[in-house]
Amino acid sequence: MTLALAIHGGCGTLPKPEMTEAEWAQARADLASALRAGWTILSKGGPAVDAVEAAVRVMEDSPHFNAGYGSAFNADGDHELDASIMDGETLAAGAICAAKRIRNPILAAKALMLRGDPLLLTGPAADAFAEHEGIDTVDNAYFSTERRRKNLASMKIRELVGTAAEASEAEKHGTVGAVACDTRGHLAAATSTGGYTNKPAGRVGDSPIIGAGTYARDGRCAVSGTGKGEYFIRYCVGHEIASLIAYKGLSLADATQAVLAELSAHEIGAGLVAVDAEGNIVAPFNTEGMYRGWVSPDGLIHVATHGDVELAGQAA
């Protein structure tokens, strides 16, 4: 069985000149750490669902990605976090949305999945669930970073002068996600996000919606998306890709390209990572860049932010 692991850190990548080389190097190092965390589990025969949780957790702790620490601000100047996880073997899934105090939202989504029912908890109920499970909770201010504060200020100005539609992908959004195939051929996907900058309080995107921003089903594929969530929900992106593979016999590459083409027709930023039952990996996007990475079958870590893919050593 081919082990596989791929991650993304969102398609809201900054243009190259807007960060120093040291900052880009740190973002790539954080991607590599996320891959190592997931691969350590997979290479010891651990389940795909644990690997995607571990990889997402590392990215939630990095200020470079819009999830956990470093999440976008909503219109009220708060952070509201969405996350979900799905096990392709059992179709078990867990999700939380509009949470304000869970340090690592993916841990709460996984705990909910293990509990089995309900599948999705919102806002204060999600925070209370995490607390009850002994998962770390923090003040909402923990998630704030200077970069996201600047993004909110610039989106507020754009809103006033009517140029919000021209904002760069980096100003607007980002997400983190992971997909994996384990030694037993089981698939899993996980996604976590702060949503988009200046989103209305209470807005929920695609990331916690099973079948939209996150989907995994053995024998078909596992998908984690990034981009304008409203369209990912309308097209049921994760489920649509799995259905094109199951019912139309498309390859993973063809199925993801077909769905990405439909999203792109709306002139929205979009990207995803996906893996199929054979361990094939794709990471397509239609923006200037997408934080992304994967481990090749020989165990080598690959990371990228824009066009160039860099090797970052052996995964385990």
- Asked if 241 contacts 143 with a C-beta cutoff of 8 angstroms, the reply is no
Nearer to ligand ASP among residue 47 and residue 195 (C-beta): 195
Binding mask 127-166 for ligand ASP (x = CB under 6 A): ----------------------------------------
Binds ligand ASP (CB under 6 A): choice among 12, 88, 94, 289: 12
Pick the piece of the chain touching ligand ASP (CB under 6 A) from 85-93, 173-181, 237-245, 292-300: 173-181
For residue 155, how many other CB atoms are within 10 A of its CB?
22
Contact call for residue 229 and ligand ASP (CB under 6 A): yes
Residues 192-211 that bind ligand ASP (CB under 6 A): 193, 195-196, 205-207
Reply yes or no on whether 175 is catalytic: yes
3-class secondary structure for 170-185? HHHCCCEEEEEECCCC
Distance, in Å, from the CA atom of 49 to the CA atom of 181, rounded to the nearest integer, reads 9
**Count of residues touching ligand ASP (by CB under 6 A):** 16
Least Å from the CB of residue 66 to ligand ASP: 7
CB of 174 to ligand ASP, least distance (A): 5
Q: Which is nearer to ligand ASP, 47 or 229 (CB)?
A: 229
Q: Smaller CB distance to ligand ASP: residue 3 or 237?
A: 237
Segment contacting ligand ASP by CB under 6 A, of 24-32, 53-61, 191-199, 290-298: 191-199
Among candidate residues 175, 197, 214, 305, the one labeled active-site is: 175
238 lines the binding site for ligand ASP (CB under 6 A): no
**Where does this chain bind ligand ASP (CB under 6 A)?**
10, 12, 173-175, 193, 195-196, 205-207, 213, 226-229
